[in-house]
Structure 1
């Protein structure tokens, strides 16, 4: 806990602060100067030896700022003007810097962050991207000692931790979840682990409602992928979609890579299929389905998939389809059975968009058996 006087310094752009007036004080700045980022404002405040920074953000939409050990808070215009009114009405306005505390059970959560990557994929729309969601906003994590020493205030010992946001925080969560699955299933390949994480992900928030984005609209698979990781569920997925080396090589063929280049890279005598086109990428054995172009006039389009049983033997799975209005989706066969000597089974999914809305349509196919629920998300662009 630290008691400090408060000083209003307007925009906090470089050269605007007098170190003699700012030193040891908490300063209040506006975020209304578009060419000066929050990072710059924070550095300006630090260089002037301020004790902390309150930033009034007129948009009130920003993600938590990665300020390191420097005390920083961001408020909206309504609260900001109340602070300014307090400063202007007191000869010696003051504030107290309190230790950071966790605020549990924020609702709704999770929510797709405004800065999170969105699909469809730039490389090919026939692979659904993003794959999956993981926590990536305001994550408290360890930082390198060197960075902490450089950003710590004079006379203060580096804390060793900081709040960070972004893909660099979400990826470690997925990596940790993958390591957890690998520790339980050491013989599983990376594609099996990816499949386990994707087919067991959740699409509901902590209010038991469909997940939303930063605009409070329902999130689509082009925003959240298959949903948010559920590491414990991924330990026992029931079925997995194994993406083989041949799948990846075929992907390169379909995407236009020369056969000679693929052979050289893979050090094999692999031959591309006689017919290769971007549309065939949808048949790569991936845990999700994406179709970049489904023409209304051409009837059903068939997509193929194979699943491997990693759960109980002698089990039968039944498929259920959640399809958008107007789109016809058929799964053949509707039931698949695994015996002790049958580990891998193929099935087909047929899509007809003749009565569907133009543009991307989203839905899912779920294979269910006993305690297992294996969900495959699809994204189909109807033209």
Structure 2
């Protein structure tokens, strides 16, 4: 029997039905006793008992002989993850993607305790199980380095696009990823998981990319009411002006911010330009998954590329619904290559207008 309470004399306590269980102190007296899944028989426990009672400093080790792979369902959105919309700029979907970040075996500070037993015993280790953005970020950063090595000509925006449009929204049971932060374990919204779980192999060959230039970012700053002086502080250049402000940023996702207090239909229009990074000519047809209560229209519905690095522009119009009963509906725009392997998927979110802090 294991209970989390320090006992100075950890002797054998229970003897019943041919089994004997040793009591192991692990700290907090408020924890209820836990029973071992595989108790030890009389022979081995006698040896353990004799060793424990005859040594002033008894020690034990646990050897893990099995690694369990393919646990289902996985992945799932962690309950503690930060969710969108972004309070600093809600017009860009937050987050972009999700990456492994819960209970990751990570290198740890030597000689610094990684765990404790009660209030008195502190354990150090070269490794620890850690969770959070600091664990997910190395996964994503490593994949970005992989993509940059494979495609040195790609910009940061191109790499972001490849990661977003190839992310997987399904778990290993082929059902939508669930949100552990929801008590009902409902399917995760893009405001919780972005486009889905990061997929490095698919991102190496995305088919189309949504690229962006420094001017796109300057045009975005212009829509956020930054002054010319503030923009110069960021760009370190006088060559930019606000003659063509635009919030589109050619982002590989869409978030329509709709005021729930407006009863009449609201239309949000987005313009996007995609670049063919596949091999040679290609034709893509659009597939739309409509958000509940809203309508997405894409024009044109077919994109034809005559060669690699050719660009094509399309528009997305979202007819917002103001009657979503507090829900945040979401859908997607997917460009599917004819007679090819590429599917270029962008999440679409219809969200109430949040408070903006800029």
Shorter-normalised TM range: 0.7 to 0.9
Instruction: Give the Cα separation in 2 of the matches to 1:354 and 1:160.
Output: 53
Structure 1 position 143 matched with structure 2 position 108? yes
Stretches of structure 2 that go unaligned for 5 or more consecutive residues are 11-22, 40-44, 53-58, 354-358
User: Which residue does 1:179 correspond to in 2?
Assistant: 145
Instruction: Give the Cα separation in 1 of the matches to 2:294 and 2:2.
Output: 60
Residue pair 1:111, 1:213 contacting (<8 A) in 2 also: yes
Structure 1 position 376 matched with structure 2 position 346? yes
Distance change (3 Å), C-alpha of 1:311 and 1:21: same
Superposed CA deviations along residues 161-194 of structure 1, whole A, max 9, x for unmatched, are 2221111110000011111111111111111111
- 1:40-51 equivalences in 2 (<5 Å): none
User: Which residue does 1:365 correspond to in 2?
Assistant: 333
CA RMSD of aligned residues (A): 3.3
Q: How far did 1:147 drift?
A: 3.5
Residue pair 1:361, 1:380 contacting (<8 A) in 2 also: yes
Instruction: Give the Cα separation in 2 of the matches to 1:381 and 1:339.
Output: 37
Secondary structure at 2:73 match in 1? coil
Distance change (3 Å), C-alpha of 1:362 and 1:344: same
Residue pair 2:281, 2:307 contacting (<8 A) in 1 also: yes
**TM-score normalized by the length of structure 1:** 0.72
Residue pair 1:327, 1:356 contacting (<8 A) in 2 also: no
User: Which residue does 1:51 correspond to in 2?
Assistant: none
Q: How far did 1:219 drift?
A: 0.7
Secondary structure at 2:84 match in 1? coil
Structure 1 position 117 matched with structure 2 position 82? yes
Residue pair 1:241, 1:306 contacting (<8 A) in 2 also: yes
Instruction: Give the Cα separation in 2 of the matches to 1:242 and 1:229.
Output: 19
- 1:1-383 equivalences in 2 (<5 Å): 9=5, 26-30=24-28, 56=31, 80=33, 82=35, 97-100=61-64, 102-147=67-112, 160-214=126-180, 215=183, 216-269=185-238, 270-273=240-243, 281=247, 283-293=248-258, 297-340=264-307, 343-354=310-321, 357=324, 359=326, 360-369=328-337, 370-381=340-351
Superposed CA deviations along residues 234-278 of structure 1, whole A, max 9, x for unmatched, are 00000111122112112222222212210233122211147x6xx
Distance change (3 Å), C-alpha of 1:342 and 1:180: closer
Residue pair 2:256, 2:320 contacting (<8 A) in 1 also: no
Residue pair 1:358, 1:381 contacting (<8 A) in 2 also: no
Instruction: Give the Cα separation in 1 of the matches to 2:156 and 2:110.
Output: 32
Distance change (3 Å), C-alpha of 1:119 and 1:314: same
Residue pair 1:145, 1:158 contacting (<8 A) in 2 also: yes
Superposed CA deviations along residues 289-325 of structure 1, whole A, max 9, x for unmatched, are 1122265524532111111111122111110100123
Q: Which of 173-182 and 157-166 deviates more?
A: 157-166
Instruction: Give the Cα separation in 1 of the matches to 2:71 and 2:309.
Output: 46
**TM-score normalized by the length of structure 2:** 0.77
Q: Relative contact order (alpha carbons < 8 A, sep ≥ 6): 1 or 2 greater? A: 2
Secondary structure at 1:264 match in 2? helix
Secondary structure at 1:246 match in 2? helix
Instruction: Give the Cα separation in 1 of the matches to 2:212 and 2:199.
Output: 21
Residue pair 1:325, 1:356 contacting (<8 A) in 2 also: no
Stretches of structure 1 that go unaligned for 5 or more consecutive residues are 10-16, 33-55, 57-76
Instruction: Give the Cα separation in 1 of the matches to 2:28 and 2:69.
Output: 29
- The number of equivalent residue pairs is 310
Superposed CA deviations along residues 181-227 of structure 1, whole A, max 9, x for unmatched, are 11111111111111101100001111111100114211111111110
Secondary structure at 1:297 match in 2? coil
